[in-house]
Amino acid sequence: MKTILVIEDNAEMLDNLAGILELANYKVLTAPNGKAGVDIATRLKPDLILCDVMMPVLDGYGVLHILSNDRSTRNIPFIFLTALGDKSDFRRGMRLGADDYIIKPFDGLELLQAIEMRIKKKQHIEEAVKEGLIDLDDLFNNVHRPATWEGFGESVSLRVYKKKEIAFIEGRQATEVFFINKGKMKTYKSSKEGKELITGLHSTGTFIGVAPFFYNSINSETAMALEDSEVYVLQKEEFFRALFANMDAAKKLMQALSSALIETQRRLLEVAYHTVRQRVASTLLWIYERYGLGEATAYVITESRKDLSGIIGTAVESLNRTLADFKDEGLIDIIDSGIMLLDKKRLEKL
């Protein structure tokens, strides 16, 4: 039998909630104010908490803040009950880490469905963690997420970036983490003269904008859409609350960041010591491996000459001359839609 803690200062409402939950076969704990609710939650560790927002002694926001900062209670699903309907109240609660927001008066079935969904979600994650089946992307899709992203309030939003539209800018305060649901984006750094050095190409199913949170809160690069892209944007507080509830996912993130650092070091070494021909060949192969669909598929590299030169670290003119040479040598073909690799093995030998 699952245990639910109800924190509500209105005695009549408290009795009604307890009655509904007991009829649904839940064990119910009750608290008449926030302070008492925190005490019960830390001692008895319920499976879910229903909490009113406006209460004496300690309001719902205070309760959530305290429990979210306690290792033993921060992963307990938390649902706000409130008569408030202003969007700012939703935003404040979700940013603090609430899992859902139910407006009074509510239907009993609506309440029970919300509770059931939260408890099942928590069970699913716990089982996946035990079996070692969960990774970072699964975590993002499952931890503290309602049936739809739209129902999550303003902690998570789906944004559409048109081609060449900026998602975040180098040097600005970093407050969000980005998950590419569909499309392609590039990240790059700019010199004082306005030249771009592309630091990464990113496609569906990857995070960007994570690294700054591990050493400061300033974006170290700019992100731009290479094509029309759908991106889930998650407030950094929610991202880390979810991430560090699962150390396996945290480890995977560290591995991904380490791989990105190693890749950056490799490319810096190429810029320093390799010829333009070698760098162009390496970049074409890198893009193919990142976006290509396998040996049997003819993949066309559609990145612009400006973007390619930004990755390679050379002038567009030098890139164009090298590509023309590669075409004459039968290594690539240049068509209207982009660049097609014809001889990967010879490019690898370069």
| Cβ count near 293 (within 10 Å) | 9
d(CA 130, CA 306): 47
Average pLDDT over residues 32-44: 94
Examine the pLDDT at 59 and tell me if it is beyond 50. Answer: yes
Report domain extents, the chain. Answer: 3-133, 149-270, 274-349
CATH of 274-349, one of 3.30.70.1450, 3.30.379.10, 3.40.50.740, 1.10.10.10: 1.10.10.10
For residue range 182-215, what is the model confidence (pLDDT) as tens digits?
888 988 888 777 777 788 888 877 778 877 766 6
d(CA 316, CA 313): 9
Considering the domain 149-270 in this protein, what is its CATH number? 2.60.120.10
Mean pLDDT of the chain: 78
Report the range out of 118-122, 125-129, 168-172, 247-251 with the highest average pLDDT: 168-172
d(CA 187, CA 206): 13
d(CA 121, CA 123): 5
d(CA 267, CA 161): 28
Average pLDDT over residues 118-137: 58
For residue range 72-117, what is the model confidence (pLDDT) as tens digits?
888 788 998 887 655 556 656 666 667 778 888 788 888 898 898 8
Examine the pLDDT at 22 and tell me if it is beyond 50. Answer: yes
Q: pTM score, two decimals?
A: 0.46
The pLDDT confidence band at residue 263, using thresholds 50, 70 and 90, is low
Considering the domain 3-133 in this protein, what is its CATH number? 3.40.50.2300
Examine the pLDDT at 262 and tell me if it is beyond 80. Answer: no
Determine the pLDDT at residue 2.
92
Is the bond leading into 105 cis (omega within 30 degrees of zero)?
yes
Does 72 or 8 have the greater pLDDT score? 8
